[in-house]
Amino acid sequence: MAQEDVFKKLVAHCKEYGFVFQSSEIYDGLGAVYDYGQNGVELKNNIKKYWWDSMVLLNENVVGIDSAIFMHPTIWKASGHVDAFSDPLIDNKDSKKRYRADVLIEEQLAKYDDKIEKEVGKARKRFGDSFDEVQFRETNARVLENQTKRDALQNRFVKALNDSNLDELRQTIVDEEIVCPVSGTRNWTDVRQFNLMFSTEMGATADGAQKVYLRPETAQGIFVNYLNVQKTGRMKIPFGIAQIGKAFRNEIVARQFIFRMREFEQMEMQFFVRPGTDPEWFQQWRQTRMNWHQALGFGSENYRFHEHDKLAHYANAAVDIEYRFPFGFKEVEGIHSRTDFDLSQHQKFSGKKIQYFDPELNESYVPYVIETSIGVDRMFLQIISAAYSEEELVSEDGKKDTRVVLRIPAPLAPVKLAVMPLMKKDGLPEKAREIIEDLKFDFNCQYDEKDSIGKRYRRQDAIGTPFCVTVDHISLEDQTVTIRYRDTMLQDRVPISELKNIIAGEVSMKKLFAKL
C-alpha cells in the first residue's frame, strides 16, 4: 500500500472513530483547525499526562506552571517574534515561486560585495606583496562604483524595512532588476506582509484598547515567570519549568492534517543551567527525550535525530527528534540550547534583574536554558500513525479476514476495557453492567451488547481498546470472565475479583516509565 494511501486511511479512520474532526465542519470547515472527538480527547489527555508526569513527577527539580495565553505585547518584541514572525513575501508570476523580498535584496547586496571582492582579488594577484588594499578600495573606479551602488541599496533597503514600506521594497527589487532564479524574469507580484502572530485587542473601548497577541509559543510564559518560580519554589540551578498549553501561528500554508495547525498545543520544558554547562545538559536532555519517545515501543528504527545546521536567532545548538510518518521523517520534538538569550532580552526590555545567585560560585549570572519542545498534536498523529495497522487474518476454518487495529500503548489508549455479555439474555447483560459499575472509577470502560461478539471485538480494535472482558454463562456460575487481548487476540479466563489488578498493572503510566 502506498504511503499516501496509509495517510488518507488514517485521516478517515480518525474521523470515523471519533478521534479528530475538522473544525466547524457543518459551516464548510475552518482552514487548518481541527477538533478532537470523544476518543481523540482521551488519547490526547493521556499523551499530556505521560509527558507531564515524566517531567514533573519523575524529576524533583522540574515544576510545572500554566501561564496565560495573553501576555504583555512587549514580550514579543523582546523575544524577537514581532520582527522574525513577519515576512515580506513576493511571488514571481512566471515561475510561481515565492520569495522573501528582504532575502532577494540581501542577495543583491551580496552580489555587489562579490563584484568588489573580485576586483580586489584580481588586484592583489597582480601587485603581490606591494598591494595596498585599503588604498585600492578607496581609489579603484570599479570598486567605488559598486560600493556606491551597494551603499545606496543598503540605505534604501533599511529605510523601506523600517518604514514597513512594501511598495518601496517591490520598487527596489524592480529598480535593481532582480530576476527570479527559476524563470529568469522580472514579472513580480506586489510585496505582501505575512504576520505569523494572531493579534486582537484588549480593552473594551476602541481608543483605550491595546494590541495583544495570541502567543506563538508557550516558552515565553515560562521565561517571564522565571523569577516567580525560582523564588517561591526555592529552586536551585539546575532546575526546569514545564508547561502544556495552546499556541497560535497564522501559517501561510498549514497542511498535512493535524501536523501543522494554526491553533496547536505544545508541551515545553525550559531547563535553567549554569553557563558553560549547557552543552552537557543539551546532550543529556536530547537522550532523555529520545528515550521517552522510544519507551512507547514503536521501534527505535523509526526515530532519528536531525541536527540543525541553520540555527534560530536564540540558539547555539538545536536538534529535532523525527519520526517516520507515512509522509516521511518529520519533526515531533525539538531540543534547543537557547543560551541566555531569552532571559537577557527580558532583563533588558523589562528593566528587571533576572539573575541567579549561585552559592557554589559565589556569583550571579543569567542562567542558560535548554529547551525541550514537543507538539501535542504531532505526538498524537505520531502515535496514531504508528499504532494503525491492517492485519490479514485466517480463521480456523480457513476463511480469510482483515482487521483494523490501533496498537496504542495501553496506558495511552482512550478506552481501557470493554465489557460485553456474550449474549443479550439470561442475565449476562446485568452481570456485565455490574462489572462496569465496579471498574468505571478506575478505568474508562465501555459496554456493548450489539451484534456478534466478533464484531464487537473488531469495533474495540478500531479504537485501540487493549482489553475486552466477556461475560458468558460460566461467569454466572463461578464468577470468572474471559479477558481478550487486543494485540494477540488471545483470551484468558480470570476471576472477576482480579480484573482490577490485572488491568491496572497494564494501563499504568509506570509501565512506560519503567523503560525510561
Partner RNA sequence: GCGGGAGUAGCUCAGUGGUAGAGCAUCAGCUUCCCAAGCUGAGGGUCGCGGGUCCGACUCCCGUCUCCCGCUCCA
Residues of this chain that interact with RNA (CB under 7 A) are: 4, 7, 11-12, 15-16, 22, 28-32, 79-81, 83-85, 87, 89, 91, 96-100, 216-217, 251-253, 255-257, 260, 312-314, 327, 334, 373, 393, 395-396, 399-403, 422-424, 450-455, 457-459, 470, 472, 481-482, 484, 489-491
Is residue 75 helix, strand or coil? Answer: helix
Query: How many other C-beta atoms are found inside a 10 Å radius of the C-beta of residue 515?
Result: 11
Give me the least distance between CB of 242 and RNA, in Å please.
Answer: 17
| Among the listed residues 438, 430, 417, the one whose alpha carbon sits nearest the alpha carbon of residue 482 | 417
Report DSSP state, residue 151: H
Based on CB atoms, which residue is closest to RNA, 119 or 333?
Answer: 333
Task: Determine if the peptide bond prior to 367 is cis (ω within 30°).
Answer: no
Give me the least distance between CB of 334 and RNA, in Å please.
Answer: 6
Give me the least distance between CB of 467 and RNA, in Å please.
Answer: 11
Based on CB atoms, which residue is closest to RNA, 386 or 405?
Answer: 405
Based on CB atoms, which residue is closest to RNA, 235 or 410?
Answer: 410
What is the C-alpha separation between 514 and 516, in angstroms, rounded?
6
Based on CB atoms, which residue is closest to RNA, 278 or 472?
Answer: 472
Can you tell me which residue has the cell 582579488? 121
Based on CB atoms, which residue is closest to RNA, 31 or 233?
Answer: 31
Based on CB atoms, which residue is closest to RNA, 473 or 510?
Answer: 473
Give me the least distance between CB of 490 and RNA, in Å please.
Answer: 6
Based on CB atoms, which residue is closest to RNA, 87 or 168?
Answer: 87
First to last CA, the chain: 34
Give me the least distance between CB of 84 and RNA, in Å please.
Answer: 2
| Among the listed residues 450, 381, 380, the one whose alpha carbon sits nearest the alpha carbon of residue 418 | 450
Beta strands in 30-109 (DSSP E): 34-36, 62-65, 86-91, 98-100
**Nearest 5°: phi and psi at 265?**
-125, 135
Strands 62-65, 239-248: pairing kind:
parallel
Is there a contact between 334 and 319 (Cβ–Cβ < 8 Å)?
yes
**Nearest 5°: phi and psi at 403?**
-140, 145
Based on CB atoms, which residue is closest to RNA, 146 or 446?
Answer: 446
Query: How many other C-beta atoms are found inside a 10 Å radius of the C-beta of residue 239?
Result: 21
Can you tell me which residue has the cell 526555592? 234
Based on CB atoms, which residue is closest to RNA, 294 or 482?
Answer: 482
**Nearest 5°: phi and psi at 364?**
-105, 145
The edge-to-edge listing of strands for the beta sheet with 192-195 is: 98-100, 86-91, 192-195
Based on CB atoms, which residue is closest to RNA, 118 or 246?
Answer: 246
Query: How many other C-beta atoms are found inside a 10 Å radius of the C-beta of residue 28?
Result: 7
What is the C-alpha separation between 127 and 122, in angstroms, rounded?
9
Sign of CA dihedral 509, 512, 513, 514: positive
What is the C-alpha separation between 152 and 150, in angstroms, rounded?
5
Based on CB atoms, which residue is closest to RNA, 24 or 148?
Answer: 24
Contacts of 306 (CB under 8 A, 6+ apart): 319, 320, 321, 322, 329, 331
Give me the least distance between CB of 203 and RNA, in Å please.
Answer: 27
Distance of CA 164 to the CA centre of its chain: 31
Give me the least distance between CB of 266 and RNA, in Å please.
Answer: 9
What is the C-alpha separation between 265 and 315, in angstroms, rounded?
22
Give me the least distance between CB of 307 and RNA, in Å please.
Answer: 13
Based on CB atoms, which residue is closest to RNA, 100 or 511?
Answer: 100
Give me the least distance between CB of 201 and RNA, in Å please.
Answer: 23
Give me the least distance between CB of 305 and RNA, in Å please.
Answer: 15
What is the C-alpha separation between 319 and 47, in angstroms, rounded?
22
